[in-house]
Amino acid sequence: MVIRVELSGRRGLRLFRVASLFSLGLTYDPCAMDFSESAVDAPLTPMERWFFGGLGNTTRYIFRMWLTSLLPALAISLVVALALEGHGEQLRFDGSAIFVLLALVVFSPVVETLLMGPVLWLIGLITKQWIPLAGGSAIAWALLHWALHPTWGLVVAWPFFVFSSVYLAWRPRGWMRAVLVTATVHALHNALPALSVLAM
């Protein structure tokens, strides 16, 4: 069985506008907390330092987070593919190759990052802890992707934990920087899957 996802440019543009307005309306949010070592009394754990340290070199940070999201996701995808071989439903995207590539590498990372702000804002009303914030966001995005395709929901949980952590790391430095850095990591992450989808 093949599940097709129809990509509509006009519908996508409306979603982009709504996400932008909603996210801009929450530029001051309770999740804009500084998790860096200079902002807390206790030393950062190695995992906290991995996500919230090294912000001075943006390029190196983006490259590090790209590998952090991509490599485990590839391993998870392989395990899921092997476990469901011959039984899973195949996901395909309708549309021209260029449109699918732009949707996955440009449109999707930007819109989902814009919507990530409000998601973290809501979770931030409940907890101010980094892992519950990023974990809650990852679960929310996994469920949304699960609705389109169950396997997709399993595979995106870890990447969205990383994307949410990136957003939280950069949010104290400004909403725009948080969106740009997070969307860039997301776009790089989606590049390889996008090429694999086009090759199917």
pLDDT tens for 137-155 read: 999 999 998 888 778 888 9
Q: Say what the pLDDT of residue 154 is.
A: 87
The residue among 61 and 194 whose pLDDT is bigger is 61
In a domain, 30, yes or no: no
Q: CA–CA separation, 88 vs 82, rounded Å?
A: 10
Question: Of 151, 125, 156, which is closest to residue 141 (Cα–Cα)?
Answer: 156
The pLDDT value recorded for residue 38 is: 54
| Average pLDDT along the chain | 80
Does 92 fall in a domain? yes
Domain that holds residue 90: 45-199
The reply to whether the predicted model has a pTM over 0.85 is: no
Q: Higher pLDDT residue, 98 or 155?
A: 155
Over residues 149-181, the pLDDT tens digits come to 778 888 999 999 999 999 999 998 999 999 999
Count how many domains the chain has: 1
For residue 29, is it within any domain? no
Lowest mean pLDDT among 59-63, 91-95, 109-113, 137-141: 91-95
Percent of the chain's residues with pLDDT above 90: 46
Whole-number pLDDT of residue 24: 47
**Measured distance CA(19)–CA(13) in Å, rounded:** 10
pLDDT above 60 (res 67) = yes
38 is a domain residue: no
Would you call 150 exposed, middle or buried from its count of C-beta atoms within 10 A (0-12, 13-18, 19+)? middle
Q: What does the pLDDT average to over 41-67?
A: 90
Q: Would you say residue 65 lies in a domain?
A: yes
- How far, in Å, CA of 24 to CA of 102, rounded? 23
* Residue 59 resides in a domain: yes
